[in-house]
Chain A
Amino acid sequence: MITCAEAVKQFWQYLDGDLTPKQRRRVDEHLGICRQCCGEVEFARLLRGVLDDQRSVDELPQEVRERMERLVRDLER
C-alpha cells in the first residue's frame, strides 16, 4: 500500500489519466482507505478546473486589438 505522501505526488497525473494501470490501481487502493486523500484528490480536480477556466478568458485590450488590426492592414498592402 502506498503512503499518503506517495499518493499526493500522483493526484494530478491520476486525474489526467497519465498513470500506468499499476500506479492507478495503487492510488485507487489508497483512496479506498484514506478519507484525507479523497479530499486532496477532489481539491486537485478543482485546481485543474481553475486552470481550465483560463481558457474562457477574453482579455484582448481594445488598444492592442487596434494596433494589431493596423499591422494586418499594413501587411496586406
Chain B
Amino acid sequence: MTIVADGRTAEASFSDLALASLPRIYRLARRLAGDGAEDLVQETLMRAYQRFQQLQHYEAGLAWMSTIMLNVYRDGLRRSKRTVVELGFEDIDEFSLYRKVEEEDPFPYSDSLHLDFLAQFGRDDVLAVLLTMPEIYRAPLVLYYVEGYATKEIARHLGVPLGTVLARLHRARKLFERQLWAYAEREGLLRKPRSMESVTP
C-alpha cells in the first residue's frame, strides 16, 4: 500500500500495521474472548492480511483492524451456535453496589467506605470480574465503556438489534456491579482496606 506523509510517498507494509495494532487488538481480544484471545488475534491478523489491499487510508488502520476482529468474533459466535441465555431482570435490575457496600460495611473504620472498596481492585481484578460475566453481557459493556463504541455500532458489529444491545447493556452494568461484590467476597478483598494495611496490627 502506498501512503503519503509529509509530502513523501512510502510503501506501508502489513507488518507495520499489524505490529503497531497488536497491543490494542490483544486488549480487545482478551476482554471479548478471555482465554481464547490469542486465537482471536491470530485469525484477525490472517483475515486482515488477506484484505490489506482494501484498506484505503493507513491512518484508519487501527480501527480497521479492530473492525476485522469484531467480525471474526461475531462469526465465531455464530459458528458455535451457542444457546443464548438471557438473565432475568428480577434478580439484578434493582441491585445497587453502592447500597450493598453501605449495608455490609466491610471496613467499619473507614471514612471513605466506597472509595476504599473500589481501591481494592487492581486492573487485573477488574479484568477477572469482566471475565466472570457471560459473553452476551460482557461484549457490549467492554465495547461501550472500554473501547468507546456507540450503541448503534455495537449492534452492527455484533449483528443484533439495537434494542437487544440496549437491554443487554443495562443488565451488564448491574451484573458488573454484582460481580464486583461477589469477586471481592470470594477473593478476600473485604478484610481491610489496602490503605489501612500498614497502620493496623
Contact = CB atoms under 8 A, between A and B. Distances in A.
A67 B26 CA distance: 13
B94 A9 contact: yes
B38 interface: yes
Most buried by B among A44, A72, A76: A72
Interface string B85-97: 0000000011011
Contacts of A60: 22-23, 26-27
Contacts of A72: 14-15, 18-19, 45, 49
Given A47-B177, A69-B19, A76-B15, A54 B123 contact: yes
A64 interface: yes
Contact of A59 (B27, B45, B145): B27
Interface in B67-123: 93-94, 96-99, 114-115, 118, 121, 123
A68 B94 contact: no
A50 B94 contact: no
B141 interface: yes
Interface residues of A, number: 33
Given A60-B26, A68-B22, A76-B14, A51 B93 contact: no
Interface string B124-137: 00110010000000
A39 B27 contact: no
A40 B19 contact: no
B173 interface: yes
Contacts of A40: 96, 98-99
Contacts of A51: 126, 141-142, 145-146, 176
27 contacts: A9-B93, A9-B170, A12-B170, A12-B173, A40-B99, A43-B97, A43-B114, A46-B115, A47-B118, A47-B176, A47-B180, A50-B118, A51-B141, A52-B146, A53-B123, A54-B126, A55-B146, A55-B147, A57-B27, A57-B127, A59-B27, A60-B22, A64-B26, A64-B41, A68-B18, A68-B45, A76-B14
Interface of B: 13-15, 18-19, 22-23, 26-27, 30-31, 38, 41-42, 45-46, 49, 93-94, 96-99, 114-115, 118, 121, 123, 126-127, 130, 141-142, 145-148, 151, 170, 173, 176-177, 180
